[in-house]
Structure 1
Amino acid sequence: MKVAVLGATGMVGRTFVRLLEGHPWFRVEKLVASERSAGRPYGEVVEDSPDEFRGLEIVSLGEFLEDPGVDLVFNALPASLSREVEEKLAEEIPVFTNARAHRYDEDVPILVPEVNPDHLGLVEVQRERRGWEGFIVTNPNCSTAVLTVSLAPLREFGIRRVHVATMQAVSGAGFSGLPALAVHDNVIPFISGEEWKIENESRKILGRIKGGKIEPAPFEVSAIATRVPVLHGHTEAVFVELARGSVEDVREAFESFDPLGRLGLPSYEKPLIYTEVPQPRLHRDRGRGLTVAVGRLEKSGRVFKYVVTGHNLVRGAAGGSLLNAELAVKLGYI
């Protein structure tokens, strides 16, 4: 299956390219970037490019849109460019996107394969309503992805309320997102728009399909987002009020959570591991960056608290989107 990566020279785009090296289902046909990179070999622009793609010539976005010539698109473009581009492509081609442009459309899923695979059912709603042959599937904000993987096993205990404080890596801000002097020796307790995304995307992901759209989960999600001087790996302190369950029950739910392992997806890794003290430097690369580490589990009354950490560029971005595409192929949507 021929695929293209849009925004291939950015931080998330480079992660897409690295994860697609040697992929058994998807063959990278086109790497798309800005006009200033177009016409140059990918390895000349991205020095640490996988050998497989070093000689592949970069295509400009305008040239690509004239003749995509692929079966599937991974999008790592900025949100400001993505809405019109994604809609144009989705008329004929499935689009799996890291951009937020369509996350909040009622007929577009925010997909985390282990958490809400049934939300792929919205693909048929999109096709019918919009007259598309393709479709758009989004993945969530990076901190939301890590959080919802940890919350999914807790649904059986009746989630009543979620509070979370994030400690987010600087790579989540992109190559030029933060001046070095701003974050060095510092914690920045504000990331524009981040808390709203966590609070609203989580409820959509953990909700259910009803009447051709997602009915958000009924519980409150409240977030404080901070930026910390860590390169990769978002860490989150989570406080969850549950209707029932013990520490032993919750830990067992974490450790046994593996809903898609039987499907044989090429990129699939066990989504959760339990470790006493999760830390980004030690655990962000577990499962090639797709495994989330959870620990520090304690209980006070009906409130359970724990710490979770996951790789923001893999589980929280490109790797999550790649899993979305693999699941869509496996379930027959492509």
Structure 2
Amino acid sequence: MINVGVLGATGAVGQRFVQLLADHPWFHLQTLAASERSAGKPYGKVVNWRLDAPYPESVSDIVVTPTTVESLKDCDLVFSALPPEAAASLETEIADAGIGVCSNARSHRMDADVPLVIPEVNPDHLGLIDVQRDRGREGFIVTNPNCSTIVLALALAPLRAFEFHDVRVATMQAISGGGFSGVSAMDIYDNVVPYIGSEEEKMEIETLKIMGSFDGSEVTPASFSVSASCHRVPVIDGHTIAVWVDVAESVAEVKKAYVNFKSPFSNLPLQPEKAVELLDPSDRPQPRLDRNRGRGMTVSVGRIREGLRFVALGHNTIRGAAGASVLNAELIYSRKYL
């Protein structure tokens, strides 16, 4: 078993990490780190469990540690749900100390030698771990993309067989994407907020790195363009995105590409049977009906129309955050980087 810890364990994404790791077959959850006000107390006494998933009682007696490198010394790997301003320096210190970091934070996503990975899309980019180690780092940092970027990149992956140059996307993002205190009830009730800070920029640059080519030493970004407009809507979980792609192939050919799309892995515990699932009804996907497909790890695609236009949906705190990092860690472990 690999000893693992969670940074930011009491927050929205941190709780998802705890949920997914509490009984993981490969990873032993032994360290939970949070703010100073929680440190020194049992996790069960300080966490305000707000997920729709049952609280894992097995973690109740784990004493919360301060968020320091020293508190993680017995971990082989840590999962970071830290805010970006804290993650920037601490994740670097942890990796330099010989510990692997799978991060949900944006701080290092665009670093030239840090993999930005979705296992079903660009597993070869994990080769950047070797680049980090060649320059003397004992551990590593691997990141997963922004929650909406993950939905978009997975929805685009089956279309790689076709030629396209222009991708346009409009998102309808759940309030959980802003964390437990991210959007006030008065702001979101009976409302749509047409701006989410830095979200559009992240979608536009991260997608190109993920779908770029890796030559063994660096990633060359994909050559198509992405234009995004991001909006917060009164949905608890599940980001819905409307996508326009200049694909010339017919709807029938595009649907066939989705049906035939297979994950390159079948031995990863969190890997869903279908990473991308095509839904036939014209009114799907919908967050309440489809966000938990594949235990929250499946991206659903529907409403495919000539143009090419379609709608995609993914669970933002599972597939789009904690689950993405855990799946990355499973791939890292299977490739003997731990």
Query: Within the alignment, does 1:332 sit opposite 2:323 as a pair?
Result: no
Is 1:265–2:268 an aligned residue pair?
A: yes
TM-score by length of 1: 0.95
The answer for the alignment partner of 1:153 in structure 2 is: 158
> What letter is aligned with 1:310?
G
Alignment of 1:203 onto 2:203: no
Q: Which residue of structure 1 lines up, in the alignment, with residue 112 of structure 2?
A: 106
2:316 equivalent to 1:312: yes
List aligned pairs for 1:34-113, cutoff 5 A: 34-48=35-49, 49-62=55-68, 64-65=69-70, 68-91=73-96, 92-113=98-119
The match for 1:224 among 223, 226, 229 is: 229
Structure 1 consecutive aligned stretches of length 4 or more whose deviation exceeds 4 Å: none
- Equivalent positions of 1:158-177 (< 5 A) are 158-177=163-182
Distance 2:181 2:218 in 1: 36
CA distance in 2, matches of 1:135, 1:112: 17
- Tell me how far 1:66 sits from its aligned partner: 5.1
DSSP 3-state at the match of 1:159: coil
Q: Could you give the per-residue CA deviations for residues 207-246 of structure 1, whole angstroms, max 9, x where no partner exists?
A: 011472211100110000000000000000000112x422
Distance, in Å, in 2 between the alignment partners of 1:156 and 1:127 is: 34
Q: Which amino acid aligns with 1:212?
A: S
Indicate yes or no: 2:236 matched with 1:237.
Answer: no
Amino acid at match of 2:297: L
CA distance in 1, matches of 2:30, 2:275: 29
Question: Which residue of 2 is the match for residue 292 of structure 1?
Answer: 299
Query: CA separation in 2, counterparts of 1:104 and 1:40?
Result: 36
Give the whole-Å Cα distance in 2 for the aligned partners of 1:295 and 1:106. 34
Task: Identify the range of structure 1 (133-142 vs 270-279) with the bigger mean alpha-carbon deviation.
Answer: 270-279
Q: Aligned partners of 1:128 and 1:239: how far apart in 2?
A: 41
After superposition, the Cα gap between the structure-2 partners of 1:74 and 1:136, relative to the gap in structure 1 and judged at 3 Å, is same
Aligned match of 2:52: none
Instruction: Output the amino acid matched with 1:265.
Output: L
**Gapped regions of structure 1 (runs ≥ 5):** none
Q: SS of 2:24's equivalent? A: coil
User: Partner of 1:250 in structure 2?
Assistant: 254
Partner of 2:94, secondary structure, is helix
Q: Write the distance in 1 (CA, Å) between the matches of 2:133 and 2:216.
A: 15
Determine the C-alpha separation between the residues in 1 that align with 2:337 and 2:253.
Answer: 36
Match of 1:127 among 117, 133, 139: 133
Counterpart residue type for residue 213 of structure 1: E
- Counterpart selection for 1:321 from 304, 321, 325: 325
CA shift for structure 1 position 159: 2.2
Which secondary structure state, in structure 2, belongs to the residue aligned with residue 28 of structure 1? strand
Shift of 1:256: 2.1
Instruction: Tell me if structure 1 keeps the 8 A contact 2:173–2:239.
Output: yes
CA-based RMSD: 1.2
Identify if the C-alpha distance between structure 1 residues 65 and 84 changes in structure 2 by more than 3 Å, giving closer, same or farther: farther
Report the number of matched residues.
327
* Matching residue's letter, 1:113: P
Task: Judge conservation of contact 2:10–2:48 (CA < 8 Å) in 1.
Answer: no
Deviation at 1:65, TM superposition (A): 2.9
- Give the TM-score, by structure 2 length: 0.94
Q: 1:211 to 1:30 in 2, by over 3 A?
A: closer
CA separation of 1:239 and 1:11: change in aligned 2, threshold 3 A: same
Give aligned-pair identity as a percent. 52
> Letter of the aligned partner of 1:157 in structure 2?
F
